[in-house]
Structure 1
Amino acid sequence: MKLASIIISCILLASASADILQNPDFELPPSNWTANSTSPFFTLDQNSTIPGWTFEGGVQYVTAGAGLSLPQNGHAILLGQDGRINQTFTATGEQMQYLLTFALARGVQNCASNASLVVSAPDSSAQFSFTQKYSKEPWEVYGHQLGSWGDGESINLVLQSQAIDADPNSICWPVVDELSLITIGSVNQDNDNLLPNGGFEFGPAFPGFSNEGVLLNSEPSLSESALQQWMVMGTVKYIDAKSYFVPEGKAAVEIVAGISAGVQTAKLLQQGSNYNLEFMLGDANDSCSGDLTVGVIAGSSVQNFTVHSNGTGAAKKYSLTFKGTGPGPTPISFQSYTARQNEEGAFCGPVIDGVVLRVSSGYKPNMHCAFLIALLLLGLL
């Protein structure tokens, strides 16, 4: 057996592609669009075509300026009354999960209420509303898992507006921009951690235009969450080491939606056996100061942990020992008991990273792959 095949079978498989969607940033304009310095809005009609996209209902092509702020000061799409755009792509290769990242803003800053954006694909649908609670920018970045496909399946991605208010004149219609679609394969546990993706390294793509992180809304399913192998309670922010303080690796989770928000996973463990859970708790260097408290639930064990934050980026390692429950998977969760806002008024909270689960005796699972690799490197296979 070759070294490459052993390593591929033992490590997690993930890949990203920037070419799945056509014209994802809408910088290729509609066929009949002409720049107009007096208005940033251009209404699409039966004579309009958008490269890569089809549309229905009230759809406008918008340009940054005239009081409208967009990521990278470019172009975007406003979905008005019954507005809808869609694009079909082909899921090539093996079965993969498709994770979408996009920027969401609103076309008018002062209005009575927001319309929401509905993102859907075969067998999935999710709703997003612009809040400006978690960002100092006039737009927010969201992540979402569209679904899992492969083998040449044809996938139709649909984005459409949904009115919340009965009066269409009082609604701030959603503006969408900077879509990014990546694929990711199976995420498995490593040799020293029973929890897959315990370091939160696998999730939606971080956009290059933003340093605000990626918001993840509540998702009660492990298999359908954009944060691989973790359910989301409330709203959390997926943060990267380029823009924030991340305790370990390249990514972490900041629990921003206040009390009871957080993340949860589950693992099938030996009932009655002792396990040790380690994790990092701190702040993201986003001026989130004060006491940050997290409640950790592992099986039947419940314990609170608190760090005092100056908001400048720091973390401490904590641990607790608990017994596996049964007969089903043992739940493990991190919930915030803190509601904070930083100096710029954005909601913020504790950062969780480096979650490691081990049998308390020190036994390390999945050593077979590591042993085979070591033998191969030594020339014994």
Structure 2
Amino acid sequence: MAMSTTSRCVLLLFLVGLAARAASGVIDGLLPNGNFEQGPTKSQLNGSRVMSPHAIPSWEISGFVEYIESGQQLGDMILPVPEGSRAVRLGNNASIRQKLVGLTRRTYYSITFCAARTCAQAEKVRVSVVPDSGVLPIQTVYTSSGWDCYSWAFKAKHTTAWLSIDDPDAEDDPACGPLIDSVAIKALHHPSHTKTDSMLKNGDFEEGPYIFPNFPWGVLVPPITEDENSPLPEWTIMSDTKVLKFVDAEHFKVPQGKYAVELVAGRETALVQEVRTTPGRSYKMSFAVGDAGNGCQGSLVVEAYAAQGKVQVPYESQGTGGHKRAELEFAAADKVTRVVFQSMNYLMKPDGTLCGPVLDDISLVPLPKKHRRLFL
């Protein structure tokens, strides 16, 4: 039977769609078998330990790697799994790796993965895409489930690369180590500006790491000491070991758009961006401060400063959402001005996990020159 014109058109569009998908390279979302639901056969396991390097489809393993099922008991500890029913645990000298294909050279990518510690208080996870690597501390837990999702960014040097996740520390018990689940990738785009009249880039935080749609706790963004590329384009997180949280409107109250950041670590973390300015020229920065509607109650205070200007913005939170606008006017002292945001207080939700104010919709504009003398 001859194919109709309509059928031929549909087939052509389908093939064009497939070609575009292939040409686009890496697709945002879960890596192949990124949730480890496809596992080893029984013959490839010794108890829960994986005995073959290629036993977990799409992954290559080395060292003491265990294949964990949700609810599995370790001593007096029951191991949960955040999504699906399976995860892996990295013991001594253990690593998992997957080959990333279809990368675009000189493009930035963010890896999102979820992790939970089991034995040690000071467990760490190392993420590597050669030549970049970062060691992410996971001793501070930001969710009541014990699982947190972390992000880490790299710049692609080639069209293919090996992503490796491992436990950099050796424990007394070779089976001790972090649980890993749900590994995803996302291409990052560095926007020129968030608004036509704003000098700041990504001030609305609409560009950031991948957030799993079924996970209600956001994604942690590491400090520059652990990741110089930053999964939050144009912004730098200044801290020794603490993070900030990237949150979405699907699970949190967000002042504007689809995404915002929650300052969960008090004064231990600062959010920073540098912007070109004219010395002596006056500027106005405006932004939204509120709560994420996640039960974080109490006195939230965000401090913002740039050049010699500083403002503290209080917000009394009932933990049910809401925000208010704030402004800071300052005069630039140099050709480059550093804009900084911090949470002044440490707060906890009723479940004992850290929380803080939500920050969003930041813009920076020059004021008319007649304002200049007010700040000199």
Q: Under a length normalisation based on structure 2, what TM-score does the superposition of the two structures give?
A: 0.83
**Shift in Å, 1:305:** 1.6
Q: Distance in 1 between matches of 2:355 and 2:293?
A: 10
Q: 1:301 to 1:261 in 2, by over 3 A?
A: same
Number of the residue aligned with 1:201:
206
Q: Distance in 2 between matches of 1:168 and 1:199?
A: 45
Number of the residue aligned with 2:258:
250
Q: Distance in 2 between matches of 1:241 and 1:93?
A: 29
Greater Cα offset, 171-180 or 336-345: 171-180
Alignment of 1:213-362 (within 5 A): 213-219=218-224, 224-233=229-238, 234-327=242-335, 329-361=336-368
Select the residue among 18, 23, 34 that pairs with 2:33. 23
Name the SS for the 2:79 alignment partner.
Answer: coil
Unaligned runs of 5+ in 2: 1-23, 73-77, 370-376
**Are 1:44 and 2:55 counterparts?**
no
Q: 1:354 to 1:275 in 2, by over 3 A?
A: same
Task: Note the alpha carbon deviations across 1:327-346, whole angstroms, 9 max, x for none.
Answer: 4x210010111000011111
Residue 90 of structure 2 contacts residue 176 of structure 2 at CA under 8 Å; is this kept in 1? no
Q: 1:31 to 1:78 in 2, by over 3 A?
A: same
Name the SS for the 1:353 alignment partner.
Answer: strand
Select the residue among 85, 90, 102 that pairs with 2:113. 102
Number of the residue aligned with 2:135:
127
**Shift in Å, 1:198:** 0.3
Name the SS for the 2:83 alignment partner.
Answer: helix
Task: Note the alpha carbon deviations across 1:258-298, whole angstroms, 9 max, x for none.
Answer: 22323110101111111110000111111111111121111
Q: 1:243 to 1:347 in 2, by over 3 A?
A: same
Unaligned runs of 5+ in 1: 1-13, 363-381
Number of the residue aligned with 1:368:
none
Q: Distance in 1 between matches of 2:227 and 2:90?
A: 31
Residue 283 of structure 2 contacts residue 332 of structure 2 at CA under 8 Å; is this kept in 1? yes
**Shift in Å, 1:221:** 9.4
Q: Distance in 2 between matches of 1:20 and 1:288?
A: 30
Q: Percent identity?
A: 28
Number of the residue aligned with 1:6:
none
Alignment of 1:84-233 (within 5 A): 84-93=95-104, 95-106=106-117, 108=118, 111-131=119-139, 133-145=141-153, 147-149=154-156, 153-163=159-169, 165=171, 167-168=172-173, 172-189=176-193, 190-219=195-224, 224-233=229-238
Select the residue among 81, 88, 92 that pairs with 1:70. 81
Return the letter of the residue paired with 1:70: V
The count of aligned residue pairs is 337
Name the SS for the 1:162 alignment partner.
Answer: coil
Larger relative contact order, structure 1 or 2 (CA cutoff 8 Å, min sep 6): 1
**Shift in Å, 1:256:** 0.5
Q: Distance in 1 between matches of 2:214 and 2:161?
A: 27
Q: 1:221 to 1:68 in 2, by over 3 A?
A: closer
Q: Distance in 1 between matches of 2:349 and 2:102?
A: 41
**Shift in Å, 1:142:** 0.8
Could you list the structure 1 runs, at least 4 aligned residues long, displaced by more than 4 angstroms after superposition.
31-35, 220-223
Name the SS for the 1:354 alignment partner.
Answer: strand
**Are 1:57 and 2:63 counterparts?**
yes
Number of the residue aligned with 1:79:
90
Number of the residue aligned with 1:10:
none
Q: 1:279 to 1:224 in 2, by over 3 A?
A: same
Q: Distance in 1 between matches of 2:278 and 2:216?
A: 42
